[in-house]
Amino acid sequence: MLPTRADFPPGFLFGAATSSYQIEGHTFGGAGVTHWDTFAATPGNVVRAENGDTACDHYHRWPADLDLLRDGNFDVYRFSTSWARVLPEGRGAANPEGLDFYDRLVDGLLERGLKPAATLYHWELPAPLADLGGWRNRDIAGWFGDFTEVIMRRIGDRLWSAAPINEPWCVGWLSHFLGHHAPGLRDIRATAHAMHHVMLAHGTAIGVMRDLGMKNLGGVFNFEYAQPADDTPEAARAAALYDAYYNQFFLSGIFKGRYPDLVMEGFAPHMPKNWQDDFAVIQAPLDWVGLNYYTRKLIAPAPGPWPAHQEVPGPLPKTAMEWEIYPQGLTHFLTMVARDYTGTLPLYVTENGMAGYDELVAGAVDDQPRIDYLAAHLNAARDAIAQGVPLNGYFTWSLLDNYEWSLGYEKRFGLVHMDFDSLQRTPKASYHALRAAFAQG
């Protein structure tokens, strides 16, 4: 059963999340070329070579999308600002249309009684900065700080919250070690550099926003429950290493001023020069931490160089991403993060949801599996609250079906179905169920 607003503490916030490249349409409004455009244009990287050219055309249809949020009884909307829309070359001249777009979006949220929760960067690096090495180049911290200043001078006065970088693990590891996301590298030195520079850029942006007088600044991190594939000590060690570079690396940097020893066993020879001197910037105090959580992974040892492990398929029911459904992992991470890193700092679940085999039949989408998934994870969040975790809100990924990165438009995560030809929006059964659950009592 879906819990309702009354099952959560007073003031608990319910939200939905999206990101710029996944919904806006990047050929509109003077946006610059991003590394996702070039990645998608390279054969073999993205299903059907799909890109964000049109996406959901949110750039033009945002008023209707914000109406969906208001009518769905959401309190807060987590969106992101495209670096390449604001600064088409990544640096230098700003694009006035881009700034106007986010300005109108923020006002449109406030007019509808919705709290704007901005993420500065959700992966659409301007291509000219990718040419300069992107996240491998230490200078990115300064470029990102400058972008932060330009966009936040315009909208920072009206935001409810802001966070620098969505899911540093994906920016670092997924994109530079596994090569699944732009820029599609598979190189340990690139990875070690990117994972550190992402932290430096995070701290730099927090500093810029503090100097602008902004409040309620946080960080958004993703987590996967790493379960040893069997009960051997080798599998336990493999899972512990996965946990260290996925779930601990960034929080450890920010809250402890050091990176996990297990990760440094592989990274040490590849770290950028004088990285140890950067923690004063990286450790800029935060007002909240956001957790994105979807699944668990079974981890087994594997031959080959560090990290010498592999994922193996698990037995639990799976979503259309082939991700196992494991709500207990959400309770685990909420309690772990509060206990080991954040203490009394407010936590938010900033993303949670599933891709389903959703079909539009006679103008409706019956996505009962999504309702069940959301119910199980909302209840897992309540379990954490019952254990004393200061969890203040929960955001569903995503408001709309959208561009699911290297999987193109095929994986549908939305509460609202998108026809990517007509761009027609159709609220699914899950949208209606959450609207009823989130109604004010």
Give least dist CB 309 to ligand FCB, A: 21
Q: 228: how many CB neighbours lie within 10 A of its CB?
A: 20
Give least dist CB 433 to ligand FCB, A: 20
- Sequence-distant (≥ 6) Cβ neighbours of residue 333 within 8 angstroms: 223, 225, 247, 291, 293
Distance CA 227, CA 239 (A): 6
Q: Which two tokens stand for residue 70?
A: 């208001």
Give least dist CB 222 to ligand FCB, A: 5
Peptide bond into 398 cis (omega under 30): yes
Q: Which of residues 282-321 bind ligand FCB (CB under 6 A)?
A: 292
What binding mask, one character per residue, do residues 20-39 give for ligand FCB by CB under 6 A, x or -?
Answer: --x-----------------
Give least dist CB 55 to ligand FCB, A: 12
Would you name the residues annotated as active-site residues?
Answer: 167, 351
Q: Is 369 left (phi over 0), alpha (psi -120 to 50) or beta?
A: alpha
Give least dist CB 413 to ligand FCB, A: 5
Whose Cβ is closer to ligand FCB: residue 278's or residue 401's? 401
Whose Cβ is closer to ligand FCB: residue 8's or residue 123's? 123
Among 8, 14, 16, 19, binds ligand FCB (CB under 6 A): 19
- Residue type present at position 408: G
**204 binds ligand FCB, rule: CB under 6 A:** no
Whose Cβ is closer to ligand FCB: residue 255's or residue 413's? 413
Q: Which long-range contacts (CB under 8 A, 24 or more apart) does 154-158 make?
A: 154/99, 154/102, 154/103, 155/81, 155/102, 155/103, 155/106, 155/116, 155/118, 156/209, 156/212, 156/214, 158/106, 158/107, 158/110, 158/116
Whose Cβ is closer to ligand FCB: residue 19's or residue 204's? 19
Bridge-based pairing of strands 416-418 and 425-427 is antiparallel
The string of DSSP codes covering 346-402 is -EEEEE----B----BTTB---HHHHHHHHHHHHHHHHHHHTT--EEEEEEE-SB--
Whose Cβ is closer to ligand FCB: residue 367's or residue 404's? 404
Among 65, 351, 358, 401, binds ligand FCB (CB under 6 A): 351
- Sequence-distant (≥ 6) Cβ neighbours of residue 306 within 8 angstroms: 188, 265, 266
Distance CA 86, CA 102 (A): 9
Whose Cβ is closer to ligand FCB: residue 352's or residue 385's? 352
Number of residues that bind ligand FCB (CB under 6 A): 12
Give least dist CB 247 to ligand FCB, A: 14
What binding mask, one character per residue, do residues 367-406 give for ligand FCB by CB under 6 A, x or -?
Answer: ------------------------------x------xx-
Q: Which of residues 139-168 bind ligand FCB (CB under 6 A)?
A: 166-167
Q: Which of residues 412-441 bind ligand FCB (CB under 6 A)?
A: 413
Q: Which residues bind ligand FCB (CB under 6 A)?
A: 19, 22, 166-167, 170, 222, 292, 351, 397, 404-405, 413
